[in-house]
Structure 1
Amino acid sequence: MIATTLVTEFGKKAAERWLALLAVPGLVFTGFAAIGLLLGHSRWFDLGSLHTRLAGWSGGTTQTLLVAVVAVGAASAAGYLARAIGGGVENVLAGQWSRLGDPLAKRLTARRRQRWDELNDGEHNEQRNRIALIPPISPTWTGDRLSAPAVRVRQNYGLDLASTWPRLWLLLPDSMREPLSAARTRLDTACALGGWTVLYLALGLRWWPAAVIGVVLAGLTWRRARAAAAGYADLVEATVDVRRDELVRHFAPDDGIGRAQGLELTERFRKGT
């Protein structure tokens, strides 16, 4: 009985997530795509022609059901494609560019670092921190914001965040895991919005109003991704701040708690790599 209830609740949550993240945005995009492919640039708002063409598709129950199935399938496919593109969008926002982008990335990083150094005089900390919380190592603000926890944790605690985090995660109670997971989901969702941006801009090659939608979504993606990245990075760093002592006591109960112990744990976690 309990197992059945758990499966039912899981199914409900999965369905709600599918509707929110894939189905509804996908259906909206599929609708615009159908309109755009039918009308094109020259007749972008020809509602009469659109009505005539859609009326030609109307038929019996079987045909209507087939159209509905195709629409839902196309919406789901568009949703998964947007999520996949979102991974690339996150890389772009985080400054993880391909080799072709390396020259530009290096110039932008150097420019950000120069400006950061100019403000790192003890009197302009607020302006400096608007550029980055650490000496810039990325061509983008989001990249430096996501990198800041690892740099600051290493400097202050001697811990390598990449190897420490999986072990720290296992020690966290659900009350701390849930906000972290939610923050990561917000970042993923913001980047997925960037995936929809790409799809609408691509549709804009056929139907220009879609390009306008894409530009608006691009602005929303930029703002939401920055906010989500900052929130997620803050939570990750705060989690280490709060649970670092517990981590050290768990793996080295007889040692003290300091940066030296953090460096020792880093060597232990990385196992010589």
Structure 2
Amino acid sequence: MLTGLATDVGRKLAERWAAAVVLPGLVFTALAAAGMTLGQRHWSDLDLLRHRLRALTADGSGSTRTAVLLLGVLAASFAAGLLADALTGPYERALMGSWPGPLGRVAGALTERRRRLWDARDRACREAREARELGPLEAARNDVALVRPQCPTWAGDRLRAPAARIRLEYRLELADAWPRLWLLLPDSTRQPLIESRQRLDEAMRLGGWAVLYLLLGAVWWPGAVAGAGAALVAWRRGRERAEEYAELVESAVDVHLPELYERFDGESRPVRAGLGPAVTERFRKGAGARRG
């Protein structure tokens, strides 16, 4: 039974690895080879490409050279996949608004601009006198962010919103409570969270591939076009997946927080906001607030 389970898990991991790394790597390697062969001046010269390809296997040792070429393509595809994965982290940080030092002033200016817009729309919500006016005004404010912006990008604020909203509602620090709550979640709640996080990661990985294609544009301009298209799709998917994942995290806390309180404080319903600080301090064990 265990052997069968291990085989099944290994097969699924191999399928995921092939779909996420090998196949996109093969496509990129083929296009990169074509682009570097054709260059900018002959970017669409298919006759030149066929001629160069035939020249690789023209002599008598064609089969050996073909085998070596295939191994080289596989190695290059694997290397491209690893590089795209390495670029996923920087792309995710850029989308989430964690910009490096030189861009700090730009990030601060964008964050302040978003705050002013949010403050104006929040003020309009508080000044609304009729319920029919409040709905559209709240929707307009929430289009900027669910809470007062702390980030230059929408996606960054959306992923930060659950922690802020849970702090306001329950006076509980999500960073300290989440690892304990995760251990209590049933599979029916865990699985959608895992799958949502995987979809978010896939969107970020597409951003890594977009960067590679943009770099390819330096020697073959159609690569830049493909990279720009991939970046646009990755940006759109990143926003959608961030919305989905943040909503599921906050929902999991709303639904299962009584179980956490019952386990650690002996109370369940109703959830009292006064329990939040005490439970948070218990989780921290005197170590103070988490950093980073």
TM-score range, shorter chain: over 0.9
Q: Is the 8 A contact 1:255 1:261 kept in 2?
A: no
Per-residue CA shift, 1:64-85, capped at 9, x if unaligned?
A: 2221121112111111211221
Q: Which amino acid aligns with 2:229?
A: V
Aligned to 1:16: 15
Q: In 1, are the aligned partners of 2:258 and 2:268 still within 8 Å (CA)?
A: no
What is the alpha-carbon distance in structure 2 between the residues aligned to residue 34 and residue 225 of structure 1? 29
1:238 is aligned to 251
3-state SS, counterpart of residue 65 of structure 2: helix
CA deviation digits over 1:39-62, x for unaligned, max 9? Answer: 100111111111111111125333
Equivalences, count: 272
Bigger CA drift: 51-60 or 158-167? 51-60
Give how far 1:63 is off: 2.2
Query: Is 1:265 matched with 2:264?
Result: no
Q: Which residue of 1 aligns with 2:63?
A: 61
Moved more, 3-12 or 229-238: 3-12
> Residues 234 and 7 of structure 1: is their aligned pair in 2 closer, same or farther, counting only changes over 3 Å?
same
Please name the residue that 2:109 is paired with: 107
Q: Do the aligned residues in 2 keep the contact of 1:108 with 1:139 (CA within 8 Å)? A: yes
1:221 aligned partner: 234
The alignment's TM-score, normalised by the length of structure 2, stands at 0.90
> 1:116·1:128 contact (CA, 8 Å) conserved in 2?
yes
**Structure 1 position 187 matched with structure 2 position 186:** no
**Aligned amino acid, residue 265 of structure 1:** V
| Structure 2 residue matching 1:150: 3-state secondary structure | helix
Give the RMSD, CA atoms, in angstroms. 1.2
| Partner of residue 168 from structure 2, selected from 152, 155, 158 | 155
Contact 2:193–2:249 under 8 Å retained in 1: yes
Which has the larger displacement, 57-66 or 90-99? 57-66
Q: Partner amino acid for 2:108?
A: K
Question: Match of 1:167?
Answer: 180
Read off the aligned partner of 1:178 and give its amino acid letter.
Q
**SS in structure 1 at match of 2:102:** helix
Structure 1: runs of 5+ lacking an equivalent: none
5 Å-filtered alignment, 1:73-152, equals: 73-120=75-122, 121-122=124-125, 123=134, 124-152=137-165
Q: Is this contact kept in 2: 1:183–1:232, CA < 8 A?
A: yes
Using the TM superposition, name which of 116-125 and 164-173 deviates more. Answer: 116-125
Indicate the percent of aligned positions where both proteins have the same amino acid: 48
Asked whether the 8 Å contact 1:109–1:139 carries over to 2, the reply is yes
Q: Which runs of 5+ in 2 are unaligned?
A: 126-133
Change (3 A) 1:55 1:262: same
